[in-house]
Structure 1
Amino acid sequence: MPYIAGMNTLNFDLNLLRVFDMLLREQNVSRAAERLALTQPTVSNALARLRDQLGDPLLVRVGRRMRPTPRALALEGPIRAALQQIEQTLVIGDAFEPQHSQRQLRIAVTDFVEQMCMSPLLALVQVQAPLLRIDVAHLTPDLPAEALDRGELDLVLGRFDEVPARFSRHLWRRETLRVALRRGHPETGNGLPLDTFLRMRHLWVHGGQTRGMVDQWLAEQNLARQIVYTTPNYLQAAHLVAATDLCAVLPTTLAQHFATLLPLELYELPFALEPFELELVHLTHRQHDPALAWLVDRIMTMNSENRVLDELDPP
């Protein structure tokens, strides 16, 4: 349990921590009471006791909503982590029976990774854990550390530059890039040299980034391409390229998949780029959750190139 300055934690009612956590999640007494299966007066009384024992209003009304105070926000992460640790400690050693489990596991991925990963994963889950529920959320370019800390996500699968030391990271696969053009594109008679690549009209799948691998390399050579359309969606990008004279750089696996469905031709980049890595990331202390461990193992073994990465941050 986190240290709470200025009070004797031996006399603190630990049941109040569950109420605190739910109030911070919902920022509404009625909704918190409903989720806790308690009456509204009971939760209101618990909030009053929390305010008294912590010496802070914790939640203050702003207009029609309640907002957490700085003190409440400072306590939110440590208290939630402590509650999760207690919950996971209690389930250690419990048998996880995939065939009968009705657990809900939440994963954040990009549409590209969802296309690659989820079809084979769902086929496997349908056989081995038919009652398991998987909820997928959209993954932004930055690691959603706070959502993982709060338990809103169980794991994420994507490309990350920085991962804090409290997380475990596993290399899922390495991916390269290909240039996708519509079949019969007028610029492809003599392959795809760099000068041709640069004068083409490009579609860029930005994924929330300000600059991707291709444009970073070009900038280092004092070069630039002509980007005339941007989208956050890989799946839409392939259809747009197939129907126009636009050019797009796509992950090889996705490009090959769409080349079997759409009139697309694929080309090597006219310059060398290192492969990028897709990683599976979760809180290290969650590794003892048997359901999460089962899911991580299934995702990792779906790709023969997988290997577990050592922690990249020094101890």
Structure 2
Amino acid sequence: MVNIRNFDLNLLVIFDALMRERNVSRVAEKLSLSQPAVSNALNRLRTLLDDQLLVRTSQGMQPTALALELEEPLREAIQQIEHTLSGRNQFDPSSSQVRFRIATTDYAELALMPRLLSYMRAMAPGIQFDILDLPPETPTKALEDGELDLCIGRFGELPPRIRRTPFLKEHLVVACDAEHPQITNDLSLDTFLSLQHIWVSGGQRRGVVDMWLDENRLERNIVMVTPNYLGAPHLVIGSEMAVVLPKRMADEYANLLPIRCVPLPLPIPPFDVDIITSALRNDDAALQWLIKILRHQFTAL
């Protein structure tokens, strides 16, 4: 049994870094230590815990079963200590210089960030943001490692260590050139199917519109596929093409471009847009404040 009174807690910081990096040289550089110091710390941990913890293999350093068992609770304990010592539970947005890293889609960036930045300029001018692309797979590790503060998007089943906060419900609409000859506000299903469509894939193999059409043995004419939402509204201008977009994004573009939006003539329910964070950050006052502001500013839209 390990006696915590005689345990050097600095070893846990090195263990956490080794579990993240799986490389002694990178850990030494990250913690401003020498490689022998990191190797010595690992050897001390091996002796104290009577386990190899990390084993060199042809694929690099691989953790043992005990190391994997210890990783999450020790990381949570370290972050709790850091949060407590840094006074993050006493967060003042008006004077804070915190920089949030958010992963989201181009849809959310366009529909949400202008309004959020306007609020921040007035209420929290020192706060800054880095916006990153939301990958197809939920970036669980990046959230747990602190590389991301939160993600905004559509998510399936999540592991217990990731916290989901309901954010928005979004509807789909059809966007087209303002003078499109076939599209009216009471667009019918038959007319919708006959249109030339742009499909924004967003990294998906099949979207909700086409899944509904498949289920009902229907098909639309997709003449172009693009991975991003931001360019799609520009492509319909001066053409007879149409594109299905989330309503908030479409409304933003309708204020800027000669396009118009009409209801989607399919009984597709609204979809959820959620905020996800690491459960390890539940007591992070700055992050919880940002989530509260996001929900307050946008839930009513």
- Scaled by the length of structure 1, what TM-score is found? 0.82
1:77/1:150 contact within 8 Å kept: no
C-alpha separation in 2, matches of 1:210 and 1:75: 38
Q: Which structure 1 residue ranges, 5 or more long, are not aligned?
A: 1-6, 307-315
C-alpha separation in 1, matches of 2:111 and 2:44: 50
AA aligned to 2:148 is L
What is aligned with 2:230?
235
What is aligned with 1:68?
62
Task: Report the CA distance between 1:62 and its aligned residue.
Answer: 4.4
SS of equivalent residue, structure 2 residue 157: coil
How much is the aligned-residue C-alpha RMSD, in angstroms? 2.8
C-alpha separation in 2, matches of 1:215 and 1:176: 16
Q: How many residues align?
A: 298
Equivalent runs, 1:200-279 vs 2, <5 Å: 200-242=195-237, 244-279=239-274
Q: 1:30 to 1:101 in 2, by over 3 A?
A: farther
SS of equivalent residue, structure 1 residue 136: strand
C-alpha separation in 1, matches of 2:75 and 2:106: 29
What is aligned with 2:54?
58
Q: Give CA-to-partner distance per residue, 1:48-86, whole Å, 9 cap, x none.
A: 3344445226153648xx443454555444432332233
Q: 1:41 to 1:103 in 2, by over 3 A?
A: farther
Matched, 1:26 2:43: no
Task: Report the CA distance between 1:135 and its aligned residue.
Answer: 2.0
2:138 pairs with one of 134, 137, 143? 143
Q: Give CA-to-partner distance per residue, 1:201-229, whole Å, 9 cap, x none.
A: 32211222232221222122111223232
Q: 1:94 to 1:194 in 2, by over 3 A?
A: closer
AA aligned to 2:215 is E
Greater displacement, 88-97 / 289-298: 88-97
Q: 1:127 to 1:305 in 2, by over 3 A?
A: closer
2:76/2:280 contact within 8 Å kept: no
SS of equivalent residue, structure 2 residue 103: strand
2:290 pairs with one of 281, 290, 295? 295
C-alpha separation in 1, matches of 2:168 and 2:130: 22
Overall identity of the aligned pairs, in %:
46
C-alpha separation in 1, matches of 2:192 and 2:146: 44
2:52/2:64 contact within 8 Å kept: no
AA aligned to 1:160 is F
Greater displacement, 105-114 / 207-216: 207-216
C-alpha separation in 1, matches of 2:9 and 2:278: 24
1:187 pairs with one of 172, 182, 188? 182
What is aligned with 1:197?
192
Task: Report the CA distance between 1:182 and its aligned residue.
Answer: 2.0
AA aligned to 1:26 is E
Equivalent runs, 1:56-135 vs 2, <5 Å: 56=52, 58=54, 60=56, 62=58, 66-69=60-63, 71=65, 72=67, 75-91=70-86, 94-135=89-130
SS of equivalent residue, structure 1 residue 302: helix
Greater displacement, 46-55 / 150-159: 46-55
2:167 pairs with one of 148, 158, 172? 172
C-alpha separation in 2, matches of 1:81 and 1:121: 30
Q: Which structure 2 residue ranges, 5 or more long, are not aligned?
A: none
